[in-house]
Chain A
Amino acid sequence: MSEVRVDVRGECCPLPEGSEVKVDVCGETCPVPLVETRKALRKASPGDTVIVMGTHPASKDEIPMAVKALGLELLGVEESEGVWTICIRR
């Protein structure tokens, strides 16, 4: 996995009420970003914020689709220099 570090504390992610779970799937390809997001969401408690960072282009659109299908709240999506960040409230 490549070492990409981004500051995820932008407008995308307001300070969470619950705890915060970070998922780094940079360099991973289909279906790993989707699967790792789902695994993290299953482990998280209601109210927790899950922050996913990755580089696989299709997952940037597909993870929000999964969030909607799961009835969860999409807090924001940001992209900078090929790395996207998706924030989800469980």
Chain B
Amino acid sequence: MAERATLILHSGEMDKFYSALIIANGALAMGLEVSIYFTFWGLQRLKKGGLAGGRLSAMNLLGLGKWMVKRRMKKANVASLERLMSDFKDLGGRIIACEMTMGIMGVRREQLREDLIDSYGGVGTYVQSARNSAITLYI
């Protein structure tokens, strides 16, 4: 069985979402099986049209900071979140949406990008995956 990496994305900020997807894609590329659990603010990124919707975790400056960072990222030829997500799915990455967050925030399945989600789960699903993982991260 391949080694595994299990990530929790609790944050919804753009920079943290980037970190999660870059690490996840790197792990997939190096032969690991990867799952990302989208919970709390992270789950907002799975809403339809929500992929690139997060603010910056620091120096957001009412959106000016995000605009500047996005411009610099474009200049440095950093892949877009859409591309990173598409690569993640192409390489067999799994996405799990937290059902409890959906309950708390009143999010229905039809509001989410169901095409990206492999399953809906709770903490037991995460623990079961994490206990067999070489890498587990909380972002």
Q: Do A and B come from one complex?
A: yes
Question: What residues of chain A have their CB less than 8 Å away from a CB belonging to chain B?
Answer: 27-32, 34-35, 37-39, 42, 65-66, 69-70
For B25, the chain A residues whose CB sits under 8 A away are 31, 34-35
For B87, the chain A residues whose CB sits under 8 A away are 35, 39
Please report which residues of chain B, range 85-104, place their CB below 8 angstroms from some CB of chain A when the two chains form the complex.
Answer: 87, 90-91
Give the interface residue-count category, chain B. 10 to 19
For A69, the chain B residues whose CB sits under 8 A away are 30-31
Other than A29-B77, A30-B26, A66-B29, give 11 A-B pairs with Cβ distance below 8 A. Answer: A28-B79, A29-B76, A31-B29, A31-B79, A34-B26, A34-B30, A35-B29, A35-B91, A38-B30, A39-B90, A39-B91
Q: Shortest distance in angstroms between A41's beta carbon and chain B's nearest beta carbon?
A: 9
| 1/0 contact string of B51-83 vs chain A (CB within 8 Å) | 000000000000000000000000011110000
Q: Is B116 on the interface with A (CB-CB < 8 A)?
A: no
Known contacts A38-B91, A39-B91, A42-B91, A30 near B22 by CB under 8 Å: yes
User: Which residue in chain A gives the minimum CB-CB distance to B21?
Assistant: A31
For A35, the chain B residues whose CB sits under 8 A away are 25-26, 28-29, 87, 91
